Amino acid sequence: MYEKVETSLNFTQREKNIEKFWQENNIFQKSIDQREKNNMFTFYDGPPTANGKPHIGHVLTRVIKDMIPRFQAMKGYQTVRKAGWDTHGLPVELEVEKLLGLDGKEQIEKYGIEPFVKKCKESVWKYKGMWEEFSRTVGYWADMDDPYVTYDNKYIESVWWALKTIWEKDLLYQGHKIVPYCPRCGTPLSSHEVAQGYKDVKERSAIVRFKVKGENAYFLAWTTTPWTLPSNLALCVNPEVMYVKAKSGDYTYYLAETLASKVLGEDFSVLEKLPGKELEYKEYEPLYPFAIGKIKKKSFYVTCDDYVTTADGTGIVHMAPAFGEDDSRVCRKYDIGFVQFVDAKGCLTEETDWAGVFVKKADPLILKDLAEKGLLFDAPNFEHSYPHCWRCDTPLIYYARESWFIRMTAVREKLIRNNDKVNWIPPTIGKGRFGDWIEHVQDWGISRNRYWGTPLNIWECECGHQHSIGSIDELKAMSDNCPDNIELHRPFLDTVTIKCPKCGGKMHRVPEVIDCWFDSGAMPFAQWHYPFENKELFEKTFPADFISEAVDQTRGWFYSLIAISTLLFDKPAYKNVIVLGHVQDKNGQKMSKSKGNAVEPMEALQKHGADAIRWYFYENSAPWLPNRFHDDAVQEGQRKFLGTLWNTYAFYILYANIDKFNPSKYELDYENLPVMDKWLLSRLNSLIKSVDANLSAYRVTETAKSLQDFVDELSNWYVRRSRERFWGKDMTEDKINAYMTLYMALSTFIKLAAPMIPFITDTIYQNLVRNSYTDANESVHLCDFPTANEAYIDEELEKNMQLVLEIVSLGRAARNTANIKNRQPIGQMFVKAPFVLDAFYKAIVADELNIKNVDFKDDMEKYLAYSFKPQFKILGPKAGRQINEIKKVLASLNGHAAKEELDKNGSLKISLSGGAFTLVREDVEISVTQTEGFATETYNKVVVAIETTLTPELIEEGFVREIISKIQTMRKENGFEVTDRIKVCVDGNEKIASILKRNCTDIQKIVLADSIESGKLEGFSKEWNINGEKVILYVK
């Protein structure tokens, strides 16, 4: 016996039960252990930080990340899924600073690095519990008991190994990096911090004259930061842009052609036009002498780069390599020197005339000085948005800092090659956003001047020698003051010195820690402490078969993974990646706490249940598109899909319990099944094929849609059509067939859907399958994914049934137009379709539409008229611009005559203003327009016509159907059980009473009545209006 099924849709409670069941019985672990060790499917989990709360977007990533491995596990692969935590980095430090009331690096150092780092370590677990509960609730299966943690000594040791390997390949070097820098706090800011502090400011910019060497002319260059002019080393033009040499007043200038009139006014004459490329390497005289002698490399000439625009300014940009990302890059490209006449406090240095003056204060002084020297062309006011420190409101400066880089430019070709091996979903990201990014890859600045992170494993000697340590053992071997239980963090490592292999001197570690993106990109090997342990395991699980994160990770994790795997192994770190769109609110706006439109994920899960939310994300739209999330949308899918599935299951259980039916006692007798059952099994097996193919190819939405369509047809066609087969008292062959077919459909379907909606499918499985078969697997998630039985797939059958559905739909429409309700039988229906159905299907149509006769007819002329339209796709290229006239002529043709001509000659002649034109059959589209006496409907190539005149016999039958329906309604309203037998009485209408009498045998049988009498008034009563006849019915 099955457990009785609640028809309530209270999914959340049932999900909690399943969650508990999984936990108590280690279902997740079993799903891994039961599979063959050498048959692996690898998934890498991108680590979240547990010092931030999960938000609704994490539901999307988790449900996608969860579903694919569940599917592969059922396909027979061992699918190891290790959870991970990202624990290092500036966000953690900032959180702790806030907590401790600290502000800036000075205060941190005063507070003490050791206690600070300790706090950081605690802080990262702030929301761990919440994350775990969240993961359990959405049904995210990953090994949470033994996760990888990026701050773990073993993890760091693996990262060190990687860094040392890179160091030994000579791909790790020191250089300058331009960072947004707060001169007051003495610290660079992350882009996230910079973004918080943009403000519109009005400043004076400068257009400066740079004297061309050996030529009586000047370059006009524009800058918004005059304080960088003393550090000028080069100019830059766009090689593609046209420049002019123009005479204006006493001066001759070079500047961009399109900006000349804006800058010089109307009064100038063009002496020469030339592309920027021809200005390359032209030398000029330095504005200031400060740098002369300080630099050995050749400087003070014009460079080319396409970052220069002609949006404003002069089209010539002044370059100070210490103060701008582009400046720095271009100067490196041209091998120009480097000077930085601004100190760490943001003041100009001794070398200049304004020593100790803060940069922003120096601006007017420098402008004045240039004006006096006749080098200032103009100093226009300029309004722009400029970043300020979010802490202290000081204007930020872009400032070169000593920094460590990984030479990604050296492995660019390899990166591109490896990226080509990745299956990006959608492919456009791999080619576009990501492909372009690595096409222009820059060296990776990996050092951070902070405290809480993986320490950079480079030791430096006074003699200049540098050494990279690759393991704890190596450190201990080279050091005489390394504690036994050394923790690989600041400040503990800062005091550990090693002996210089070159000079024997003391080597100290450099102060930097590394970018935490390097940590997360190292997880393929660091999660297993490779190469110190688990060598074989790593090799088996690299590269990953599948990863998935949101689109913002393109230059984050997606990049760091492939960057590191390319550097170390020259392989991509993953084979398939689904890139997910962001979750937005109802109006397509970004969700944020400040806007108050953020959806609390736990609340949403509580309200709708995990399956409903999962389903929404699978079904709603392609995963990479932005998802608008709101309650109503989730409810829709829940009702339509989960509700329908549940009800179909409840239907089966209801009747199987009445009949004490157990599928294990029977065999499915395929050969002798009725067509309806064969159709369902064919649909089912086609579905298996398509779901398997789609999920194997990571096509999520397509899978969801096909599952949804199947449930719809299962419930609203198969079950609805087959309902009566379950009603009879005896266990007939037909009833067994129906049970077996429905059981097979349901029990197979839940396996197909299990990866997507793991809770409801297991709930159903526990009752439906485990109560049918004592030897069934413990959980649906331990089952093998179904394989299609090709012998059951009958495409012809599915095609026929499809036509039945279309005809039925048209028939209903025709009834509607004729205003004849469904209970009123109709005598005749004619159908024209591309192919003819045999008697069985016609019977379904007849029954479904309550029509006595259904016949196929090719010649429908009696009931219809034709109209003609050009078949544009074919006729368009042939007819060209005549096509509009053809359309007009066709519309005015006599349909019947034209049809006849076309049928007879195979062609149709029409006359146009330009002469006669001959159309063949393929050139025109013929459609049906009119009706006469019959109600007709048409769609695609199917036409139906129903007879609208009714005979007295048909009308009487209509009454019988009405009466039965009313009695059934009364049974239901008055709480009779399905099997109860009743007595029926009728009163108040002779016509109805006589109809009842004439048809009492049929009616009694259907409504389970022992007797039908008139006059004797017993039981529940209700007055009805049946086709205009008032009558009172009684049931008892």
Partner RNA sequence: GGGCCUAUAGCUCAGCUGGUUAGAGCGCACGCCUGAUAAGCGUGAGGUCAGUAGUUCAAGUCUACUUAGGCCCA
Catalytic positions are 47, 86, 517, 553, 557, 590, 593
Of these, 110, 202, 729, 873, which contacts RNA (CB under 7 A)? Answer: 873
Name the residue nearer to RNA (CB basis): 449 or 644: 644
Q: Does 777 bind RNA (CB under 7 A)?
A: no
Would you tell me how many other CB atoms lie within 10 Å of the CB of residue 729? Answer: 9
SS3 assignment for 538-593:
HHHCCCEEEEEEEHHHCCCHHHHHHHHHHHHHCCCCEEEEEEECCEECCCCCECCC
Of these, 720, 888, 941, 1005, which contacts RNA (CB under 7 A)? Answer: 720
By C-alpha distance, which of 330, 320, 265, 264 is closest to 295? 320
Q: Least distance to RNA from the beta carbon of 872, Å?
A: 3
**Residue type for position 1010:** D
- Conformation bin of residue 112: beta by default, left when phi > 0, alpha when psi is -120 to 50: left
Chain positions 842 to 871 lying near RNA, rule: CB under 7 A, are 869-870
Q: Does 29 bind RNA (CB under 7 A)?
A: no
Q: Does 640 bind RNA (CB under 7 A)?
A: yes
Q: Least distance to RNA from the beta carbon of 627, Å?
A: 5
Of these, 639, 909, 941, 1005, which contacts RNA (CB under 7 A)? Answer: 639
Q: Least distance to RNA from the beta carbon of 813, Å?
A: 4
Q: Does 527 bind RNA (CB under 7 A)?
A: no
Chain positions 917 to 946 lying near RNA, rule: CB under 7 A, are 927, 937
Of these, 626, 674, 827, 988, which contacts RNA (CB under 7 A)? Answer: 626
Chain positions 792 to 831 lying near RNA, rule: CB under 7 A, are 809, 812-813, 816, 821-823
Q: Least distance to RNA from the beta carbon of 650, Å?
A: 5
Chain positions 192 to 221 lying near RNA, rule: CB under 7 A, are 195, 198
**Interatomic CA distance for residues 345 and 394, integer angstroms:** 11
For the range 278-282, what are the long-range contacts, defined as Cβ-Cβ under 8 Å and sequence gap of 24 or more?
Answer: 279/237, 279/243, 279/254, 279/304, 280/237, 280/239, 280/304, 282/212, 282/213
Q: Least distance to RNA from the beta carbon of 808, Å?
A: 8
To which residue do tokens 């829940």 refer?
Answer: 638
Name the residue nearer to RNA (CB basis): 205 or 527: 205
Q: Does 1036 bind RNA (CB under 7 A)?
A: no
* Pair of tokens at residue 319: 């370059």
**Interatomic CA distance for residues 82 and 149, integer angstroms:** 11
Q: Does 647 bind RNA (CB under 7 A)?
A: yes
H or E element, residue 130: helix 128-138
Q: Least distance to RNA from the beta carbon of 196, Å?
A: 11
Q: Least distance to RNA from the beta carbon of 341, Å?
A: 20
Of these, 202, 250, 311, 774, which contacts RNA (CB under 7 A)? Answer: 311
**Interatomic CA distance for residues 638 and 631, integer angstroms:** 11
Q: Least distance to RNA from the beta carbon of 32, Å?
A: 33
Looking from the CA of 241 toward its CB, the CA atoms found within 13 Å total: 24
Q: Does 620 bind RNA (CB under 7 A)?
A: yes
By C-alpha distance, which of 960, 964, 956, 957 is closest to 1006? 964
Binding region for RNA (CB under 7 A) out of 204-212, 368-376, 836-844, 962-970: 962-970
Q: Does 971 bind RNA (CB under 7 A)?
A: yes
Q: Does 883 bind RNA (CB under 7 A)?
A: yes
Of these, 589, 732, 802, 994, which contacts RNA (CB under 7 A)? Answer: 589
Torsion angle defined by CA atoms of residues 955, 957, 961 and 967, in that order, rounded to the nearest 10 degrees: 100
Of these, 265, 289, 483, 876, which contacts RNA (CB under 7 A)? Answer: 876
Binding region for RNA (CB under 7 A) out of 89-97, 331-339, 368-376, 644-652: 644-652
Chain positions 414 to 473 lying near RNA, rule: CB under 7 A, are 428-429, 432-433, 436
H or E element, residue 31: helix 27-33
**Interatomic CA distance for residues 454 and 150, integer angstroms:** 8
Chain positions 531 to 570 lying near RNA, rule: CB under 7 A, are 551-552, 554-556
Chain positions 974 to 993 lying near RNA, rule: CB under 7 A, are 976-978, 980
Looking from the CA of 764 toward its CB, the CA atoms found within 13 Å total: 29
Of these, 625, 668, 889, 942, which contacts RNA (CB under 7 A)? Answer: 625
H or E element, residue 598: none
Q: Does 719 bind RNA (CB under 7 A)?
A: yes
By C-alpha distance, which of 704, 758, 765, 588 is closest to 138? 758
Q: Does 587 bind RNA (CB under 7 A)?
A: yes
Of these, 654, 668, 920, 942, which contacts RNA (CB under 7 A)? Answer: 654
Tell me: is residue 297 an annotated ligand-binding position. no
Of these, 607, 628, 983, 1036, which contacts RNA (CB under 7 A)? Answer: 628
By C-alpha distance, which of 710, 551, 519 is closest to 624? 551
By C-alpha distance, which of 286, 297, 252, 295 is closest to 272? 252
DSSP structure string for 271-324: EEEEEGGGGTT-BB--S-STTTTT--S--SEEEE-TT--SSSTTSEEEE-TTS-
Count the residues of the shown chain that bind RNA, applying the rule CB under 7 A: 82
Mark the binding-site residues for ATP, compressed into ranges.
593
